[in-house]
A and B are shown apart, each in its own frame.
Chain A
Amino acid sequence: GAVVSQHPSRVICKSGTSVKIECRSLDFQATTMFWYRQFPKQSLMLMATSNEGSKATYEQGVEKDKFLINHASLTLSTLTVTSAHPEDSSFYICSARGGGIYYGYTFGSGTRLTVV
């Protein structure tokens, strides 16, 4: 079946630094990737949608300069949290969608970001 690998699973960084989270589709080509943020005991909030080779589409209220999304290939998308602050601490989850039999949404295992 479709597998999405997300790394790192957990990261602690200092305030002011940048953190990159990777999301890879291992056995299919992901034409679209989605990035979500999840606060404790809450639902998933869509941050942005990215299609391979084009700029990401950000949801209202999400700062594109702070959350940089790159979808340079059909198997890799990255989310970079720039100049991280404690309020950016959260659980970030990616999801990938391909074509054909991989038309559904496959989720990564998530990244727990803690900014200290």
Chain B
Amino acid sequence: GEDVEQSLFLSVREGDSSVINCTYTDSSSTYLYWYKQEPGAGLQLLTYIFSNMDMKQDQRLTVLLNKKDKHLSLRIADTQTGDSAIYFCAESVTGGGNKLTFGTGTQLKVEL
């Protein structure tokens, strides 16, 4: 079955790095995604990683995937106040009907 967990809350100071963690249970994941949701808005795709990759970097964002431990993380370098939002990880699985299963979401608060 699919079960995706995240810690609920993370607070960092502006300029520091943020690391948001995600664990999943379905080993047949094909792609894993990170989305950002600001209040009252839809989801913005930040980045994604294919399940045969270990790491992907895109500007300030670094995604690490430990497939053995079924652990995914998103590192945001030089975190800014505009990064304050809820971050969701999500997985799509082989044979899952192209559905995305979302994590519980992590509220990131960036303080001055």
Contacts and interface: CB of A to CB of B under 8 A. Distances in A.
The majority secondary structure among interface residues of chain B is strand
Chain A: interface size category = 20 to 34
Interface in A36-93: 41-44, 46, 49, 57, 91, 93
Contacts of A97: 98
B105 A43 contact: yes
Contacts of A106: 45
A105 B92 CA distance: 10
B34 interface: no
Nearest to B8: A41
The majority secondary structure among interface residues of chain A is strand
Interface string B17-41: 0000000000000000101000011
B41 A109 contact: yes
Contacts of A95: 43, 100
A103 to B, nearest CB: 10
Contacts of A57: 97
Contacts, number: 47
Contact of B103 (A34, A43, A91): A43
A25 interface: no
Q: Give the one of B41, B42, B45 with max A CB within 10 A.
A: B42
Given A42-B105, A44-B88, A104-B48, A110 B42 contact: yes
B40 A112 contact: yes
A32 B105 contact: no
Contacts of B107: 41
A53 to B, nearest CB: 16
A107 interface: yes
Given A46-B100, A105-B100, 16 more contacts: A6-B42, A41-B105, A43-B102, A43-B104, A49-B98, A57-B97, A91-B40, A95-B100, A104-B45, A104-B48, A105-B45, A106-B45, A107-B42, A107-B43, A110-B40, A110-B42
Interface of B: 33, 35, 40-45, 48, 88, 97-105, 107
